[in-house]
Amino acid sequence: MNFTRQAQIAVPEERISDWQYQHDEVWSTFYGTLNQEIEAAEPKTNQVMQVLVKDFIRRGSEMSNSDQEGLTTYWRWILAIYGPQILDQLGTFRFLITDLVPLQLIVHKYRQQNNE
């Protein structure tokens, strides 16, 4: 995956003798940069894939009977990586027959999980 890059701070060259017990601002800053969350970058896309992703989102809204507005970066990467294979094998992202999806069971299970 392609992750956004953050500026890296150079490893400090000097270390005080009791560095494990004393607060050392330089080392604290260095280690603090290692604990920063790295956001995943969006995959590169083209017009054809954008249309398919919009259709995928609409299809998800139909199947979940909700108003889905978008996809997380994770699902965009899934479609970017596996989308061409799905399209090659099935010709569409609309390969699941919605009449076969047991929506009542899914909604019931979802409500149970949210009430706990």
pLDDT tens digit string along 43-102? 888 888 888 888 888 887 877 777 878 888 888 898 889 988 988 898 888 777 766 667
- Please give the Cα distance from 54 to 70 (Å, whole number): 8
Among positive and negative, which fits the CA dihedral 104, 111, 53, 51?
positive
Residue 40: helix, strand or coil by DSSP? strand
What the block records as the tokens of 81 is: 């990586």
- Please give the Cα distance from 1 to 13 (Å, whole number): 32
The answer to pTM > 0.75 is no
Which residues 6+ apart lie within 8 Å of 60 measured at CB?
A: 68
Which residues 6+ apart lie within 8 Å of 80 measured at CB?
A: 43, 44, 45, 49
